[in-house]
Amino acid sequence: MTDPRPVIRLRPKTDPRRIRRGAPWVYENEAVTDRRTKALPPGTIARLEDAERRPIATVAVNPNSKIIARVLDLDPEAVIDEGWLAARLRAALDLREMLFDAPFYRLIHAEGDGMPGVVIDRFGDTAVLQPNAAWADVLTDTLTAALIDVTGVTTVIKNASGRARALEGLDDVSTVLAGGVAGPIPVPMNGATYLADVEGGQKTGLFYDQRPNHAFVARLAKGTDVLDVFSHVGGFALAALAGGARSALSVDGSAPALELARGGADLTGAGDRFETLQSDAFDALTALAEEGRQFGTVICDPPAFAPAKPALDAGLRAYEKVARLSAPLVAPGGTLTLCSCSHAADLTQFRQASLRGIGRAGRTAQLIRTGFAGPDHPQHAHLAETGYLKALTFRLLP
């Protein structure tokens, strides 16, 4: 029987072994982009062949993206239907149920879970889906049905915000796909309770990736005053308060995020030890230093300053500035945790920028831990982008 799917063919100079060994992407300059290929609707499922017409894999095609094909399955005959989606979801769910006692986690971490461009965060009976690749956007209804069937969630929300969808040529219209929610969802994590705004909040409403780093910093913060800058809904601050911190100050530019942080502090039973400051982070760091404030535990978890290679140099300067401005706020013997979620800045570059900033502030540091995203964010062996998060904890010497 003739395969009705279109064929995408690699250029003669493109080595197919990279794909056969697990690389998940085919770039536009690696494939034959003739008129027929360019006319394929974004999200088309196709068969990938090498230049000798030998089948390699089943791929999803988007002629509008620099990543023209995403590998879905190394079986060239794979059928991408609800059953295929359900199998990937079950495999991901099995891992999370081994890791966590409660259904609050990242369920699908894109290529790391074999579903390119797809992010799903779970909040109990609610799931937030980010179909950041064209194939997943086309199959949103089928994916939603499989998600409900496999996990038993009753509400599914499509979040269409973010840079990734724009790069795929997709819209930014978010919607409720099934069920509904009435306000922020309480999320238990590391002994604290967070409030996730899954409809109007940033990205899916909460960042699960920092969970192990929150826990480590909370141990260090016991009995100390905590400064959590770029705090979002209270990430490090609430975990520290739950772990016995004396007090915590959360700084963020978003008033709605800080309101959720205040609500989380109250639910955690630590509202009387929690303060917020709505401010530009750099302005706040400067002002606190001018006031002579110091804290036993300081954390800076900014947004991605270097989301892509063109922004790398500026991003590294920004990370250095964060370190330089925050180091004076750390009491002698206290700790400073600096984070980066930038794809383009690797661990070595980020560590060097952080140490330059600490040194320019006149402080001496010990690096006591290097942290990464939690195990519900599995890395794809061939894709550095899936290991984006870095968290460096320094002890600043007297």
Same domain, residue pair 174 and 213: no
Same domain, residue pair 300 and 384: yes
Q: Of 135, 153, 178, which residue is a domain's last?
A: 178
Same domain, residue pair 142 and 230: no
If one counts the domains in the chain, the total is 3
Q: Quote the Cα angle for 252-163-68, to 5°.
A: 160
pLDDT in tens, 304-356: 999 888 999 999 999 999 999 999 999 999 999 999 999 899 999 999 999 99
Which among 231, 159, 230 is positioned nearest to 194, based on CA atoms?
231
Rounded to whole angstroms, how far apart are CA atoms 170 and 130?
12
Rounded to whole angstroms, how far apart are CA atoms 124 and 134?
27
Write the CATH number for 29: 2.30.130.10
Q: Is 341 a known active-site residue? A: yes
Sequence-ordered alpha helix ranges (H) in 39-183? 82-99, 134-138, 140-151, 163-167
Same domain, residue pair 51 and 122: no
Write the CATH number for 122: 3.30.750.80
Q: Of 178, 205, 233, which residue is a domain's last?
A: 178
The answer to whether the CB of 129 falls within 8 A of the CB of 122 is: no
Does 42 fall in a domain? yes
Same domain, residue pair 155 and 16: no
The structure's pTM equals: 0.95
Does 1 fall in a domain? no
Same domain, residue pair 69 and 89: no
Number of Cβ atoms within 10 Å of the Cβ of 31: 20
Same domain, residue pair 207 and 312: yes
Which residue segment(s) compose the domain that 34 sits in?
A: 7-73
Write the CATH number for 368: 3.40.50.150
- Quick one: pLDDT band at residue 1, thresholds 50, 70, 90? very low
Mean pLDDT, the chain, whole residue set: 96
Q: What percent of the chain has pLDDT over 70?
A: 99
Same domain, residue pair 56 and 190: no
Length of the chain: 398
Q: Which of 261, 341, 353, 392 is catalytic?
A: 341
Which residue spans within the chain are E strands per DSSP?
7-9, 25-27, 44-49, 55-61, 67-73, 104-109, 118-123, 126-131, 155-158, 175-178, 185-189, 192-196, 225-229, 247-252, 274-278, 295-300, 330-340, 365-371, 390-396
Rounded to whole angstroms, how far apart are CA atoms 299 and 348?
19
pLDDT in tens, 31-67: 999 999 999 999 999 999 999 999 999 999 999 999 9
Does 2 fall in a domain? no
